[in-house]
Amino acid sequence: MGHPKGLYTLFFSEMWERFCYYGMRVLLTLFLVKSLLKGDSEASMIYGAYTALIYAAPVLGGRMADRYLGYRYAILLGAVLMAIGEFLILGGNETFMLFGMGALIVGNGYFKANISTIVGKLYKDNDPRRDSGFTIFYIGINVGALLATTVVAYVGETYGFKYGFGLAGIGMLLGLVIFWTGRDNYAAAPGLEITEDGMKQVGPLKMYQAISLGSLALIPLCYLLIQQNTFLIEIGQYSWDFPLMTVLLVSLFVYVAGSLIKAGIKEGPIWKDRMIALVIFMLINVVFWACFEQAGTSLTLFADRNVSREILGWVMPASMTQFFNPAFIIIFGSIFSVMWVKLDAIGKNPSIPLKFAFGILQLGVGFLVTLIGLNFADESHMVPLLTLVFLYMLHTTGELFLSPIGLSMVTKLAPKAMAGTAMGGWFLSFAMANYAGGLIATFTGGHDDSGAVLSAAEGLTKYTEVFSTIGFVLIGFAAFIVLMNKPLNKLMHGVS
């Protein structure tokens, strides 16, 4: 297809890494609710804190790769830590689970940002194949997600959660082997080797070795942040919950945004404007993914309680309903990959802001599908499975308008010296989104404000009210981005 050979090595490496990540994610909420007996709100907040830290970690991972580790060593380190994390979860209790989550978070920080950066570095500036290449890469992500949301979900819910988590860990080891054995295919990409600063001596160790050992110390920190993402502060007779995760993520975002804009100012007025545009797109990304990521929490619990999942006598496990998204990505991904190239050739390729707006519009319409499903609910207050099929189809087409384009956009907008940090900043917006998504999910669920269990009818009404509200808000936000199309394009100075 005319793409660099290294793209396919990275495709399969990322595929198995996503199998590992989504294998954990697809089972997490149900594992918390059904095995560890957490309430819906607590499970949603644990899920939100975990996935937030998963996406915040690439800020550090990208920075360390840029300055010290080089992209290849960072990815290898990340793969090892992620595999260890999955196998720790097999301990089966909350302590092992939280330590396993910590290892997964730190490992993902090194793996995720840097493998995307290598993909961008396989192409020269202004190469029209770049968006197409990232869309192909994105298909690899979703093949892994599809395998996780079918095989891991089925095994985990049918035979036991520990077997599902174990499969996810094996997938990560496969990704590690593919990345290492195929290293010659992407060897032409710059920045792979451990840097000169990384090789400097720090006491008895070289800098890259010290960073590797220091990364292990972050695992118990992640444990604490997930376990208690708010802290009770008491001063005299007054007390309040301090929103630690919120303050941490917002502070980190302000720091990263400031660093990117400062770096842009040093490069000149055009780069300054581009960094401002990148920060704005990060905020838009937060809105999209905070709503999209209901898939792992409220939409999975909705599927478990209010969706008829029987197909020819077989009842689909609730977690398996998450497979619709990666399945649709694979179905539509190749079409979109070709479509962007064809539209560019005839001068009809929408601008990046318009692609983001169209993506958010489709996400909003997807949530409104639940209102249609409500009209077809049976006497048990279960809506047809087609409700989720069409919801996830619209969410997926919306995702294809936004997510792979966003990855490609970051590699175009960022100065080369800040490529890893910029990609880490982009994943930080996912962190904020996932935490916000956990907060949104607490408004849904099977309990009322007093904690009483809702009936099936009450639960269905509550879910559809929240989902439809999200849908209408997203449609309004999409219209706003359309109005901002020209100012955003001006800030991007020709990047499209």
pLDDT at residue number 238: 61
Q: Give 316-332 pLDDT, tens digit per residue.
A: 999 999 999 989 988 88
User: What dotted CATH number matches 6-229+243-492?
Assistant: 1.20.1250.20
Q: Give 268-288 pLDDT, tens digit per residue.
A: 899 899 999 999 999 999 999
Residue 191, sorted as left (phi over 0), alpha (psi -120 to 50) or beta, turns out to be left
pLDDT at residue number 300: 93
pLDDT at residue number 283: 95
pLDDT at residue number 66: 86
* CA torsion angle 191 192 196 201 (round to 10): 150
pLDDT at residue number 229: 67
Taking the C-alpha atoms of residue 375 and residue 368, their distance in angstroms, rounded to an integer, is: 12
Which of 416, 430, 330, 402 shows the shortest CA–CA distance to 117?
416
Q: Which two structure tokens, joined as six digits, stand for 342?
A: 């064809």
Taking the C-alpha atoms of residue 426 and residue 407, their distance in angstroms, rounded to an integer, is: 8
Question: Domain segments of the chain: what residues?
Answer: 6-229+243-492
Do 19 and 146 contact (CB within 8 A), yes or no? no
Ranges of the chain with pLDDT below 70: 1, 229-242, 420, 445-452
Average pLDDT, the chain: 88
Which of 257, 231, 282 shows the shortest CA–CA distance to 429?
282
Do 71 and 65 contact (CB within 8 A), yes or no? yes
Tell me which amino acid residue 107 is: G
Supply angle C-alpha 235, 236, 238, rounded to 5: 65
Q: Name the pTM for this structure.
A: 0.83
Matching residue, tokens 């007093």? 450
